[in-house]
Every structure is written in C-alpha cells, then in structure tokens.
Structure 1
Amino acid sequence: MINRRHIRVKVMQSVYAMQQSSNDDIIREDKFLKHSILKMFDLYVLNIQLLVEVQKLAAKRIALSKKKILVTKEELNPNTKFLDNKVINAIAESISVESYIEMNNLKNWELDTEYVKIILDELLKSDVYQKYINTAENSFKIDKDFVVDFFKEIIAPNEKLAEYYEDKMISWVDDIPFVNTWVVKSLSKFKEVGIFVVGSLYKDKDDEDFVSALFKKTVLKQKTYEADIAEKTPNWETDRIADVDMILIKMAITEFINFPSIPTRVTINEYIEISKDYSTEKSSYFINGVLDKISKEFITNKRIVKIGRGLL
C-alpha cells in the first residue's frame, strides 16, 4: 500500500505541475492526482502478474521441446521446479489478482509479449535460477525466497521493462522504485497457508483523505504561505528559492496548520528527506532551517495546535 511519504511526493509533483502550466483548475488537477495514485496499483499488479506470465511462457517452451523430432533426454524429462513454484502458482490462482486484471483491462502481457520473453531469457541464464532448480529440497520457504530474488535481481532492475513502464505512463517514472519495494514486501509476507490477495492501495480512509486535503489546502493558501516564508528568509528573494524547495515548505506549513495529529517534527523530517531526492544538495539544510523558524513562531502564536502529547 502507498505510504504517507509517497503521498507527499505525489502531491508535490501535482503542485509543481500546476504551477509550471499556470493552470488554476484545482478540481481537475485533484482528479488527475488521485488518478495517478490509482494507476500505481496497476503497476503493482502488472509486476505481480509478470511472475505468472513468465512461468506460463516457460511451461509453453517445455511443452514445445517435448514435441520436437529430435528430443534430448533433458527435454523429455525437464526440471519442473519453476513450474511447480508454490508462490507463483498461488498468484496464478488468486481470484483477487484475476479480478483486478479483468476489471481494469490490464492486457499488457497479452499485447506486449516480448517483455515476458525478455524476463524469461534473463531468468534462465541467471545464477538465481540455476541455484534454485538445482536445490534438491522442496519447501515453501525455498520457493518464496526464489520468487523474491527473481523479482529483486531480474525484474526490478531490468532497464527495458522500466522504459516500457515509463512509456505507458509518465507518472510511473517516480513510482517504479516505490512499487518495486511494495511488491517485494508483499511477496516476503505471503504465507504458505494463505491466499494471495492484492490488498488495498491506502492503509485507511485517513490516508486517502490526506491526498486531496494536502493538495487543495497547499494550493489555496500559497500566497499566504509565501508571506510567511518571506519573513523567515529576509536575505532571499522569492525567485532565488528553488521551486521544489518552496513547494515543500508550503506543504509542510499546510501540515503544521491543518493536520493536528501529525507531529511537527515528523512533518519537518519528512520534507527534509523528500528534498534529498528531489531538490538540490543543500536544500535539506535550507528547508530544515526555514521550517524550524516557522514552526517555533506558529507554536508561540497558536497557529499550530496539535492533538495529543508530544506532537509539537
């Protein structure tokens, strides 16, 4: 499921896009933001489904090899450990996965079969695969460990697959690392007695509501927050502050004022960390300094009111 860190990143990107396009249709942009987050689930399911499609293609190749006129001993008695993998078979039998694919018309691997072939070819020549099929022991743990390694070492780092995803939806460029981690966690947590379920996009309704609230309140109060920021940066002209830094600071102020259950320090730390990935080398220090000054003044002036102990 999506976490608050990635929700903040998606909101930041939407605020930035809105500013760059000089678009003021907040309702339309809010819908697009929610849509881009929903599409992350498509990416998650496509990665999960790819494991099954690779296994299916492997089974087809084995079946075709047996029909050859000159069949080798190995082709007549192939190693079927990969085809018997309990985790991949559980995904293949998952009503949850199948229903999502049908409801959202995810025909990617049916239409773009070359990527399934690319992944299978990479897998068959890998040490991960050779080690797995040559392991005499059969257990759910060995099957699961293999699937996790298969995804981490073959699927996740594949550049052609990444380029394919980016071509399909531009917002997936920044979602791929997060979704890959999400897939690994899902596979690692799967238990032998369980049924594979794709789960939920959001942890709860609060997280879902957080998306629109953070976006709308940041956009609607931008001018007010710019004045707050200017007071704490007297030696900086507004146009000298990096666009992303300005947006992150505004989002943090939005959280200070409008989300009483989020501790002030948590907010500051979150935006510092995001700046390390999306802004300049020195941005984290600048953002920390500005937010520290603003938070202290807001607490004194009662503009920050938090619920519960230790939230300031």
Structure 2
Amino acid sequence: MINRILIRIKVIQILYSFLLVEKQFSLVTLPETPTKEKRFAYSLYLDTLVLMLKVAESIGRRGGDKPLEETRFIKRLKSDDTIKSQLARYRMAPFPFEGIVESIADKVKESAVYKNYLKDRKENKFGVDSTVWNDIYNLVISRDAEVNQIISRRENFTLKAVDRTVEFLNETFTNFMASQDGGSEAISALHQSLDKARELYFRLLWLPVELTDMQERRLDDRRHKLLVTQEDLNPNLKFVDNSLVKAIRECEAIRNFIEKEKISWEREDRVMMDNLLKSIVDSDIYRSYMDNPVETPKEDCELWRNIIRRIVFNNEHFLETLEDKSVFWNDDLDTIGTFVLKSFRKFEEGASADAVLDKYKDEEDARFGDELVKAVLKNKDTYRGYIDEAVDRSLWESERLAFMDVVIIETALAEMFNFPKIPLNVTLNEYIEIAKNYSSAKSGGFVNGILGKIISHLQKEGVLLKK
C-alpha cells in the first residue's frame, strides 16, 4: 500500500522540516576583551582542532581509505574559515604538535574507540561518527603525556587555562552533536507519518460504512414520524443495502483496525459527516444510482468510486477535517485514494480476503525510507557541494536557492548513489515530479537542469557509475 512514490514524498517532507531548523555547527569564538589566560586557552583550542585534522589525515587503510578523515566532524572543521586561517598560518610557521602527529595517530589506531568505530562503520550503523572525535579527544589526546608536555612548555601556561581549553572543546563537541540533523528523530517522524498514511487508508475504506449507517438511521427515523408518507414507510433501500459496504463491514482486517484505533468519523466530527451525507444524497450520482433498477457488485462499487472521487475529495468540510487531524493528509489524499479504489476493485471482484493491501510490497520497500533518510543525512554536505558546483552563478546564488529544491536534489542524489537497483531515469523522473508538485512553479525545470549537470559531471569523473 505504501509505495516508493509515497515514501519519497514523506522523506522529503520530513527532511525539509528537520533540516530547515538544523542548528548550524560553529566553533567557539575568542571572548571579548580576552585575558592572557583566555588567549592561551583559545590558541590551544584551535591548535588541538588542527591536531585532530592532521591525525585524521595520517590514519589510512589499504585502498586509500581514510576512515577518520571522512567523519562529519572533520569535514565541518575543514570547511570552517577559522580553521582554514589556522592551517594557512602553519604553512608559514611551525605547528606546535607537528613532531607528535604520527605518534598520536598510532595511539588512536590502537585505541578501543577507533576499533569500535571501524566495526560500527562496517556495519553501516547510523550516526556512527557522531561521538568518535569527542571520545578520541577525551580518552586519547587529552591523556597523552607527549601532548601535555608540549602544552606545559607553551608561553603563559596555567592549569586553569588548560581547563578552559577543555571547556571550549567540550562545548564544540556539544554544538556538533546538536547539529547532527536529528537523525533518529527524523526517522521516527517518518515512521509516524507513514503510519498516519496507513490510518488514512483504513479511514477512507471505513467512511462508506459510517455514511451508510447514518443514512439507514435517518430512514428509520422517518418511519416513526408523526406524519409519515408512503415513501417514509417504504423507502428505497438500495443505498443502504450496497454490496460493497456490506463487504467492507464484514472484512475482519478493516474492522480490527477500526476497533483497535477507536476510529469513528461521526463521533469525531458529526457536522462534517452530516454535510457530507447531504452532499451525497443531493447529488446526481446518488439519484442516478437509486433510479437504476440494476443491482450488481459493479454498480455498487462504481457508486462509491464516484462518491469518493467527485464528492468526498472535493468537500471543503471533509478536507478541513483531514487537515485538522494530520498536516500531511491532504497531500496524501490522491495517493491513498488510489489505493482505496484498488481495494474497492478487489471487493467488486469478490477477492475480499486480498482486498486490504499490505502496508509494504516487500522488505526492501519497508527499509527504503529509513535508508534514504540516513543516506541524505550522512552525505548531505557532499551533495550540497555538488549542487553548488552545478549552479550557474550568473543566474543563481547558491545560498539563495529554494530550500525545498535543495532537499529534493540531495534526496535524489542519495537515491542515485545508494540504491543501485533503481534505474537512474526512474529516480530523475520521480524527483522532477515531486519538485513540480511540492516546490515552486519553476522547480521542476530547475531540479531537472541541476541534476542533469551533476549526473553528467559525476559520470565523466567515474564517481557515478549508474546509467
């Protein structure tokens, strides 16, 4: 029921919400009116970060793999202007820790922190690099005798100044953790959103049952009026005897979900249901059905297909109710509505046992959303770099691109790189369509153009092998 089209849309919605409010990583700044102690602490703080960079660059594996250099913390340091200035400075002057970089690198390689990191990295655990540098600093670097000996020989050294440096570093690690994009929270939100989409599916399946029950009670009330007509005593029961509604009511899977979730459209919004029923009864669709003497499962299903598509999905009161229940439901309506109509078709064909669609087609689809979110969050800095390189600066300023367009392109790139079974043209077409429907009027063409340039460049470079 929940297909990859819907999952892609949900992933983009969730990532847009989370990344929009992402706390940006930043280094500690030198305090105003610094004392000698603060200057010492801040200088040592920057040198320690540079030491981490050099250690990361020194630890390699066969095949040119540099596991620690690929961590997000090191990537963030490399892109920071303050660290760039510090590195430029040490191209002209000796770096205080230069003589022990290799020694520290060897100790890091032998540490349990590094070995556990490699194990978790091999198992592709999400967020594996989020705390590794915090641990390397606190368990290896800060305890190293050679490091502390060099620090003690620095001008204006005091233990209090070193303690302040430790505070700066721990503040930096905390800042970095806060900017980790809410990975687990994003995945949790994705699951909740997909579960709500599943709920909408069952709610729409059950809606004909509740509307039919309401109409049956109204007909019964008319029989007991003080002044009754012949029509009140002998009403046309074709609508309330609809075979599709009976099949839905008798479907155990639907009934169990409705009972478990305690769903009742009428109890939750009686005014909306009254309005919806009136719209149905007053419609040409209803009158044509009631006047037709033919009674077949096909006719019964066709009635509800028309009611759902032409009345329910266009009823303002109903759409307002959906929006109140879930911010995503109105966006989900067309896709979920298609699944509901598929289930109607199965009921029509007498396949009641198979009428309720499975939540996911298979295990791959069940994992698709989680893996896509993880891939975007893990590599979004790299993907953003590709976008910035592809943007025509004479037409666009990369920092002023529509944020939704950026998220769509990053998600498309994540799919291209991490899901080899999905053809390139499928990914490209899907995300262009999403851009057309969920971003600005020109976004479809913009996303198409940027992705086309990125794909062409990466294929020429041999970075993207998929055709």
Q: TM-score, with normalisation over the residues of structure 2?
A: 0.63
2:280 matched residue in structure 1: 123
Distance 2:397 2:279 in 1: 52
Is the contact made by 2:16 and 2:404 (CA closer than 8 Å) also made in structure 1? yes
> Offset of 1:263 from its aligned partner?
0.9
2:296 matched residue in structure 1: 139
Deviations 1:124-162 (A, max 9, x none): 111111111110111111111111112112211111011
> Offset of 1:234 from its aligned partner?
4.8
Q: Name which of structure 1's ranges 226-235 and 108-117 shifts more when overlaid on structure 2.
A: 108-117
Is the contact made by 1:66 and 1:76 (CA closer than 8 Å) also made in structure 2? yes
1:216 matched residue in structure 2: 374
> Offset of 1:281 from its aligned partner?
2.3
Q: Name which of structure 1's ranges 192-201 and 60-69 shifts more when overlaid on structure 2.
A: 192-201
2:384 matched residue in structure 1: 226
Deviations 1:226-247 (A, max 9, x none): 1122222251432122111111
Instruction: Indicate the structure (1 or 2) with the bigger Cα radius of gyration.
Output: 2
Q: Find the residue that maps to 1:156 and give its secondary structure.
A: helix
Q: Name which of structure 1's ranges 84-93 and 188-197 shifts more when overlaid on structure 2.
A: 188-197
Deviations 1:152-185 (A, max 9, x none): 1221111101101111111223112222232223
1:246 matched residue in structure 2: 406
Residues 1:187 and 2:344 aligned together: yes
Select 2:185's aligned residue among 15, 23, 28.
28
Residues 1:70 and 2:227 aligned together: yes
Which one scores higher on RCO, CA 8 angstroms, separation ≥ 6?
A: 1
2:448 matched residue in structure 1: 288
> Offset of 1:257 from its aligned partner?
0.9
Select 2:364's aligned residue among 194, 206, 210.
206
Is the contact made by 1:264 and 1:295 (CA closer than 8 Å) also made in structure 2? no
Amino acid at match of 1:281: A
Q: Find the residue that maps to 2:348 and give its secondary structure.
A: coil
Select 1:110's aligned residue among 267, 291, 295.
267
Is the contact made by 1:50 and 1:109 (CA closer than 8 Å) also made in structure 2? no
Residues 1:272 and 2:424 aligned together: no
> Offset of 1:259 from its aligned partner?
0.6
Residues 1:2 and 2:2 aligned together: yes
1:309 matched residue in structure 2: none
Q: Name which of structure 1's ranges 170-179 and 121-130 shifts more when overlaid on structure 2.
A: 170-179
How many residue pairs match? The answer is: 307
Is the contact made by 1:228 and 1:294 (CA closer than 8 Å) also made in structure 2? yes
Amino acid at match of 1:122: S
Amino acid at match of 1:266: V
Is the contact made by 2:2 and 2:198 (CA closer than 8 Å) also made in structure 1? no
Select 1:162's aligned residue among 319, 328, 340.
319
Amino acid at match of 1:227: G
Q: Name which of structure 1's ranges 263-272 and 167-176 shifts more when overlaid on structure 2.
A: 167-176
> Offset of 1:195 from its aligned partner?
1.5
Q: Spell out structure 1 runs of 4+ moving beyond 3 A.
A: none
Could you say if the C-alpha distance between residues 80 and 108 of structure 1 is closer, same or farther in structure 2, counting changes exceeding 3 Å?
closer
Could you say if the C-alpha distance between residues 81 and 270 of structure 1 is closer, same or farther in structure 2, counting changes exceeding 3 Å?
same
Q: Find the residue that maps to 1:190 and give its secondary structure.
A: helix
Deviations 1:42-73 (A, max 9, x none): 11111111100111111111111111222111
> Offset of 1:192 from its aligned partner?
4.0
Amino acid at match of 1:217: A
Where do 5+ consecutive residues of structure 1 fail to align? 307-311
Distance 1:83 1:16 in 2: 45
Q: TM-score, with normalisation over the residues of structure 1?
A: 0.93
Is the contact made by 1:257 and 1:303 (CA closer than 8 Å) also made in structure 2? no
Amino acid at match of 1:169: S
Amino acid at match of 2:455: S
Distance 1:299 1:209 in 2: 27
Distance 2:264 2:235 in 1: 30
1:299 matched residue in structure 2: 459
Select 1:258's aligned residue among 418, 431, 456.
418
> Offset of 1:211 from its aligned partner?
0.3
1:45 matched residue in structure 2: 202
Distance 2:299 2:359 in 1: 28
Amino acid at match of 1:203: K
Could you say if the C-alpha distance between residues 282 and 192 of structure 1 is closer, same or farther in structure 2, counting changes exceeding 3 Å?
closer
1:13 matched residue in structure 2: 13
Distance 1:289 1:12 in 2: 19
2:165 matched residue in structure 1: none
Is the contact made by 2:244 and 2:301 (CA closer than 8 Å) also made in structure 1? yes
Q: Name which of structure 1's ranges 175-184 and 250-259 shifts more when overlaid on structure 2.
A: 175-184
Q: Find the residue that maps to 1:303 and give its secondary structure.
A: coil
